[in-house]
Structure 1
Amino acid sequence: MPLWFYTLPNGLFGLIIVAGWLCVGLGGLWLCQRWQRQALSDAERSLSLALMGLVTVLNTLLLAVCAFSVWTAFTQAESAVRREASAISELSRELAVINTPESRLAREQLRAYARAVVNREWQAMRDEQHSQVTWDAFDTLFRSMADIQPGNTSDRLLLPQIWVRVNELLKSRQERLEASRGQLPGTLWAVAVLSTLLTLGLACVLAPVRCHRAAITGAALAIGLVFFFVAAMDRPFVGRDRVSARPIEACLTQMERWEVRAPPLDARR
């Protein structure tokens, strides 16, 4: 799906997709009325109904797989962001507890990394890219962690846990970036579209009575809604309903509040 579609309001985005499938369904019925010069026999009608039922079931299963796939990818992207925010929050508090010049520097670099994620990388992920500036900020933080020297027994016990948090942060970051590049393959999109066209095409060969028109209209509307859901969820970090950076923004707010109440460096030394 072209990226400019995701800049539209959800209502207009959905209306375009649903209206498109409605036009396909009713337009196909109109064409069949013009081309079909004679009514179908009972045997032909029975065969058409059987084929339509089989194709409809297969198409429904295919669309269900597409919807389940994009929803799973979307929820995994949200989970990766929440885990990353949790790792940032926990690492920030643990660094604040050590309260040495090295740990405060690392904490400031952690804050710079979180800001880079929100201000730079979120925009890059919309184009399925990452921010090199954000990677540099994380690398600087990682190197600074090695300079932290524990000042007492409590700090020595806490330092291994801090490294666990750093590795969790790296893992969550990689999962988030991977989720930003995940979308339905073009082949699956093509198969879903062609299967749906075949389903509506078989429905259009039936007699153009009011009941059949209503059935095709309802089927086209339902298919359009499913395609809208799949398209809207296909890119987790693009569109109106994209995964939000609010969890990481909340971490930044908490870090600033903690910094205001931070004790002086010599309070525990």
Structure 2
Amino acid sequence: MIDWLYTFPELLLLILPVTTLVLLMVVLPRLIHRIPWLTPSDGNTDFVLRMQATLFTMTSLVLTFTLVQADINFRQADNLVSSEAAKIDQLDRLLTRYGDESARDVRPLLHAYARSIVEKEWPAMLKDKGDPETGKAFAPISRRILTINPTNSRETLILGEMLKALDTIADARASRLNMITIALPPIYWIVVCFAICMLLFVSSTIQQTPFRTTVLAAQAAVVGAFLGFVFTMDQPFKGETAIGPDAIVQVLARMEARTE
């Protein structure tokens, strides 16, 4: 996938395929009609119109189903980030409630880990990788919590919840890093581009009138809009509407404002 396209405004990513397909729909018929065996007539135009409608329906359905899947992936990634932020916040609350110096000393480490996610790991995720320093920042949190020795049932209960939150945070980070590589496979784009090319080719063999050219150009614009929309939604952590670390930033602010 051409990831550098995600640096462009999303409106441009929608307009570009729409404009390209509309121009092709206007220009291609003039070229294809010069081929002797593809010269349109009333007889073959009626046949081609039926074929063209089927191709358009199939192509649109594929793009629609793909858009639904891309939206599911986007929401799943967004939920992962929100869940990770919530667990970090929960662990900080538990450390605060524990009421012991050994637990309070872990909080700065947790704050540093959350800041590392925002400042270091998120930029690295735009390059389809995690940040090793962020992973290292999590290790001392685990070690320090494991050294806490509860002295009563209340502390034992809180420590158990902290250990659960610790495991959940580690799992959430792993899941988030796995999601950065979630994208439609290259073979999908090859098949879709082939289907669109065939749709344009078949549409270009229809006997043209100003009315038909306008309608076919509008049809091509719809396909181009679907194509651009699928592309912008394909990778949840890239583009203008990409998932950002906002949830973690908000949690970090609450953590820093939280008093003993």
Q: Give the TM-score of the pair, scaled to structure 1.
A: 0.91
Cα-Cα RMSD: 1.6
Deviation string, structure 1 residues 114-144 (Cα, Å, up to 9, x no partner): 1111011111111110111111112221222
Are residue 172 (structure 1) and residue 168 (structure 2) matched?
A: no
Matches within 5 A, 1:15-164: 15-35=15-35, 38-42=39-43, 44-164=44-164
- Report which stretch shifted further, 85-94 or 62-71: 62-71
Give CA-to-partner distance per residue, 1:73-119, whole Å, 9 cap, x none: 11111010000011011111011101322212222211111111101
Looking at structure 2, the residues matched to 186 and 211 of structure 1 have their Cα atoms a distance apart, in angstroms, of 36
| Aligned residues of 1:98 and 1:150 also touching (Cα < 8 A) | no
Matched, 1:229 2:243: no
Mapped to 2, the partners of 1:115 and 1:137 lie a distance apart of: 10
The corresponding residue for 2:215 is 215
- Provide the C-alpha distance between the structure 2 equivalents of 1:168 and 1:123, rounded to a whole number of angstroms: 23
CA distance in 2, matches of 1:104, 1:29: 73
Amino acid of the structure 1 residue aligned with 2:2:
P
Q: What is the rounded CA distance, in whole Å, between the counterparts of 2:131 and 2:158 in structure 1?
A: 31
Cross-structure match for 1:11:
11
Amino acid at match of 1:166: L
The letter of the residue matching 2:180 is S
State the secondary structure of the residue aligned to 2:224: helix
- Cα displacement (A) at 1:41: 4.4
Identity of aligned residues (%): 25
**Structure 1 SS opposite 2:34:** helix
**One-letter amino acid of the counterpart of residue 40, structure 1:** S
Structure 2 CA distance, aligned partners of 1:153 and 1:116? 34
TM-score computed with the length of structure 2 as normaliser = 0.94
Q: Does the aligned pair in 1 maintain the 2:125–2:180 contact within 8 Å?
A: yes
1:196, distance to aligned residue in structure 2 (A): 1.2
Structure 2 match to 1:200: 200
Q: Which runs of 5+ in 1 are unaligned?
A: 263-269
SS in 2 for 1:34: coil
Structure 1 runs of 4+ off > 4 angstroms?
Answer: none
Deviation at residue 27 of structure 1 after TM alignment: 2.4
**Distance in structure 2 (CA, Å) of the matches to 1:138 and 1:23:** 53
